[in-house]
Amino acid sequence: MVWHTVPTLVQRVFPERIWNGNPENNRIYLTFDDGPVPGVTDFVLDELAKRNQVATFFVVGDNVCKHPELARRILDSGHQIGNHTFNHLNGWKTDLNSYIESVVQCQESLRDLLAFEAIFFRPPYGLLTQSQAKLVRETHQIAMWSLLSGDYDEQLRSEEILEKTKIHSAQGKIVVFHDQEKTAKVLPNFLPHYLDYVLDQGWSTSTL
Ligand SMILES: [Zn+2]
């Protein structure tokens, strides 16, 4: 089952993490995880650019090393980049040292290749232990989300993804999408419609 929205109770357990953005000025916060991946990330950037909108990309360090020019294009287009570990680690299955090493390695790839210092971090799968979170917070703000699009869920049709994401969208929400191989086919079916819907509501997108 896809857990589209995050219950307030969960948000209260981790008040030091970012769950929502500032709803002022009709803003909504779109985020894209796991790239940069040629093709799908280019598509997302093109669709955002067509509508003059911005997003935050939580990148995997290994992908940044493989496709630095694409990562550069994200920054040059006015978007925000956040750290998503070097190799997309599951915090619950990774010891503290290896986890922090992967966060640092992602940070170094951004620094070395883009001269960029990420201030936001999103844990892959949303999973990290309290001790991992404590250390990550020394250098980053942990950015979670308030709405999952479910774009990676192969059980869902693109119409369902679009409808559910539209229904749960509101000002101040942080919405998660993925620019990766698994979503490359489904994104073109709903992302342009979703972006048009956002603009039709009178909202505008903002980076974190
Ligand atoms: Zn991820």
Cβ distance 3 to 156 under 8 Å? no
pLDDT for position 7: 75
155 or 64: whose pLDDT is higher? Answer: 64
**Taking 90 as the threshold, does the pLDDT of residue 176 lie above it?**
yes
**What are the structural domains of the chain?**
24-198 (3.20.20.370)
The yes-or-no answer on residue 168 being catalytic is: no
**Taking 80 as the threshold, does the pLDDT of residue 3 lie above it?**
no
Task: Give, as one character, the DSSP assignment of residue 129.
Answer: -
**Taking 80 as the threshold, does the pLDDT of residue 2 lie above it?**
no
Q: What percent of the chain has pLDDT over 90?
A: 88
Look up the pTM and report it. 0.95
Active-site residue identified among 33, 34, 151, 179: 33
3-state DSSP call for residue 56?
Answer: strand
Query: What Rg do the C-alpha atoms of the chain give, in angstroms?
Result: 16
Residue-wise pLDDT tens digits, 25-59: 899 999 999 999 999 999 999 999 999 999 999 99
Q: How many CB atoms lie within 10 A of CB 138?
A: 7
CA of 119 to the centre of ligand 1 (A): 17
Residue-wise pLDDT tens digits, 76-132: 999 999 999 999 999 999 999 999 999 999 999 999 999 999 999 999 999 999 999
Cβ distance 119 to 140 under 8 Å? yes
pLDDT for position 37: 98
Q: How confident is the model at residue 1 (pLDDT cuts 50, 70, 90)?
A: very low
The yes-or-no answer on residue 112 being catalytic is: no
